[in-house]
Amino acid sequence: MTTSDEAGLGTTAAGAPADDRATPATGPATAADAVRLLTEGELTVRGRIRDASNAALYCTVALDGQEAACVYKPVAGERPLWDFPDGTLAEREVAAYEVSQATGWSLVPPTVLREGPYGEGMCQLWIEVLPESDLLALVDAEEPEPGWKAIGFAEVEEGRTALLVHADDVRLRRLAVLDAVINNADRKGGHLLPADGERLYGIDHGVTFNVENKLRTLLWGWAGETLTDEALEVLRGLREGLGEGGALARRLGELLTPAEVGATRARVEALLASGRHPEPGGEWPAIPWPPV
């Protein structure tokens, strides 16, 4: 049986079937429009994303004159993970979107659970990625330059290491907070999608919400630092939404186990109590493999 370390869930623009790429001129204007389109639209499979470990299909979805590209991951194509025995990857992907929306940061593309050609699965709006971005880098230095945060040293060739860094970017910092809330066990560089309008999205949230601490991420640059006032306000909003009878608690209860919802609430409380970004715990590898 596969573990979550081995099952990388890569879904990036580079994996799309080149011959079948859609360029819709009438895509959704808002997240609500996108959710309706993804939920109710006619789903047409165009090809398979080749670098994904689980079944991930590049599709188009059309409804009432609107059309968009999307990714469809059927539950039937998921490989079991011994360390994530409950629920499905698809349900956790949708739960991550719900939490992202509750933050107001909109860091996860619109994502729904729906029936498709191969049964129930996750359907997520396709994001066209900007060709150039300065989010991650390898540098020959002991310390990062201003504007960068250190992740750690990486072996680039036999006998030589380089410092792996990520940008000191407010968008990445928000994503680091989201990952801490959802307990993301697989935040790789390839899961960061810079898009038009200076937007940044994170994708591939199938291994999240575990009741045990499994945070594995490249975004350790703020570890131990004080959370921003913005982040604290967002966390207080999540605490309210996750309280008894809260809207977010009810929605997550449709997608996760009661224990997973309770653990999410506890992580929010812990972040508020500490007022700091989490640090690697030491009981679990802190950086996913491969990191990019």
Do 237 and 230 form a contact (C-beta atoms < 8 A)? no
pLDDT band at 15 (very low <50, low <70, confident <90, very high): very low
As a whole number of Å, the end-to-end CA separation of the chain is: 24
Other CB atoms within 10 Å distance of the CB of residue 257: 15
Q: Are residues 116 and 240 in the same domain?
A: yes
pLDDT band at 223 (very low <50, low <70, confident <90, very high): very high
Q: Show the domain range for 175.
A: 13-130+168-274
Q: Are residues 143 and 223 in the same domain?
A: no
Write down the pLDDT at residue 26: 64
pLDDT band at 182 (very low <50, low <70, confident <90, very high): very high
Q: Are residues 60 and 114 in the same domain?
A: yes
Q: Are residues 226 and 91 in the same domain?
A: yes
Out of 4-13, 37-46, 101-110, least confident range: 4-13
Q: Are residues 121 and 159 in the same domain?
A: no
Residue 13, SS3 per DSSP: helix
- Tell me how far CA of residue 246 lies from CA of 75, 232, 242, in angstroms: 28, 18, 5
Residue that the structure tokens 């590898």 belong to: 285
Q: Give the pLDDT mean for 204-227.
A: 95
What are the backbone angles phi and psi of residue 37, rounded to the nearest 5°?
A: -60, -45
In a domain, 1, yes or no: no
Q: Give the pLDDT mean for 186-208.
A: 93
Write down the pLDDT at residue 19: 38
In a domain, 232, yes or no: yes
In a domain, 177, yes or no: yes
In a domain, 287, yes or no: no
* Number of domains within the chain: 2
Is the model more confident about 16 or about 159? 159
In a domain, 281, yes or no: no
What are the backbone angles phi and psi of residue 64, rounded to the nearest 5°?
A: 50, 45
- Tell me how far CA of residue 8 lies from CA of 19, 40, 235, in angstroms: 25, 29, 28
In a domain, 30, yes or no: yes
Kindly report the average pLDDT of the chain as a whole number: 88
Other CB atoms within 10 Å distance of the CB of residue 13: 17
Burial pattern 41-74, b for ≥16 Cβ within 10 A else e, equals bebbbbeebeebebbbbbbbbbbeebbbbbbbbb
DSSP 81: B
Q: Are residues 124 and 172 in the same domain?
A: yes
Q: Where are the alpha helices (DSSP H) in the chain?
A: 31-40, 89-103, 170-182, 229-241, 247-253, 258-274
* pLDDT at residue 168 tops 70: yes
Q: Are residues 19 and 57 in the same domain?
A: yes
Do 205 and 93 form a contact (C-beta atoms < 8 A)? yes
Residue 149, SS3 per DSSP: strand
Taking only the tens place, the pLDDT of each residue in 129-151 is 988 778 998 898 889 999 999 99
CA distance 231 to 122: 28
Radius of gyration of the chain (CA): 19
Calculate what percentage of the chain has a pLDDT beyond 90.
Answer: 69
Sheet with strand 111-116: strands edge to edge: 42-48, 57-63, 66-74, 119-125, 111-116
Burial pattern 116-130, b for ≥16 Cβ within 10 A else e, equals bebeebbbbbbbebe
Write down the pLDDT at residue 60: 97
Amino acid at 78: E
Half-sphere exposure of 140 (CA within 13 A, CB side): 3
Taking only the tens place, the pLDDT of each residue in 23-77 is 444 678 899 999 999 999 999 999 998 877 789 999 999 999 999 999 999 999 9
pLDDT band at 16 (very low <50, low <70, confident <90, very high): very low
Write down the pLDDT at residue 9: 27
Specify which residues 187 forms β-bridges with: 217
In a domain, 24, yes or no: yes
Among 267, 117, 105, 235, smallest CA distance to 170 is for 105
